[in-house]
Amino acid sequence: MRTAPIINVRFLHNTWMEGIHNKWMEGERTVSSLFPRDHGRSTWTDVICLRAYSNFRGSINIHSPMTHLKKKYLDGHCRSIGGMDTVILFDFDHTLIDCNSDPWVVNQLGATQLMNSLMRVLPWTSLMDRMMLELHQQGKTVGDIEQSLKTIPVCLEMIRAIKSAHSLGCDLRIVSDANSFYIKTILENYDLLQYFSEIHTNPASVDNDGRLRIFPYHSYTVAAHGCELCPANMCKGAIVDDIQRSFLPESKKRFIYLGDGRGDFCPSLKLGSEDHVLARQEYPLWKLLGQNPDLVKAQVHSWSNAKDVEDCLSKLLMP
């Protein structure tokens, strides 16, 4: 059973969230019962606090003398805060996690020397698939890879930022040049997989011999993406194009993109003036954005650590 979410909202007090959770567990489901007041009326803060919690617990019946106003508030003002009309796209390595998951596994399982020797010969995704073969031949199992992935830390502030954005109704997705096995394993280890509606990454699977295989998101030969800004295996800009086209024009979605690497430059150029890019300071994306200001329409914000991300998202999602 899920515990009460951590809501990173300035005007929501943690004690209130704890009180909601405790009363929910006792069977209460209405605003008036969850927020008893001497004067019999619940405040706007109560309603938005309840709205955040309801994202985790399902439908809540809103019964009070101001029912119609509360429903209007939930359907209108809460949406204008940025939650339900905002899509947040996370890069994974060096963004959601503070390391590169590919060399992390290889280094921990003792194949660093071979990886370094092949790095200039093979494209990165092909290199990682080759390293999985090497680990398999050395007797390392998929379970060993999983255990290595579970030692990768995810900063507490990043966890809070993810949960807070989701609680406000944001649509969270991952666009990453890692692979599906790594990302899923790490997110499940921190109970974060449930907060993401989609994961766009290089597919990975375990074959009949028990070896982990990693494949390119875009084929190197069949229907190659043709983007000169991106590596051959993945054009994140094409992925963002597809995501944008999946929404009706009248939905007017706002996009927030978080990234650090050279591969995050192309998708950043797909965003409009109402969108935001959070670029990790002193990393390739941040430098490319600074070098090409005329190409960038989105509003650019820099960050250095997970606390910066938490603070920036908090500001962007608040009225």
Helix, strand, coil percent values for the chain (each to nearest 5): 50, 15, 40
Residue 7 CB-half CA count within 13 A:
27
Q: Which residues of 210-243 are buried (b: 16+ CB within 10 A; e: fewer)?
A: ebbbbebbbeeeeeebeeeebbbbbbbbbbbeeb
| Six token digits for residue 159 | 């966890």
Distant-in-sequence, close-in-space partners of 161: CB < 8 Å, separation ≥ 6 = 8, 306, 309, 310, 313, 314
Report residue 37: phi and psi, to 5°.
Answer: -130, 150
Known active-site residue 75 = no
Q: Where are the alpha helices (DSSP H) in 214-277?
A: 236-245, 265-268
Report residue 132: phi and psi, to 5°.
Answer: -65, -35
Single out the catalytic residue among 38, 46, 85, 91.
91
Separation CA 203–CA 265 (nearest Å): 22
Q: Are strands 171-179 and 276-280 parallel, antiparallel or unpaired?
A: unpaired
Known active-site residue 91 = yes
DSSP state of 209: T
| Six token digits for residue 306 | 């997970």
Single out the catalytic residue among 46, 75, 93, 177.
93
Separation CA 76–CA 252 (nearest Å): 14
Q: Report which secondary-structure segment, H or E, holds 213.
A: strand 212-214
Paired residues of 258 in beta bridges: 90, 278
The catalytic residues are: 91, 93
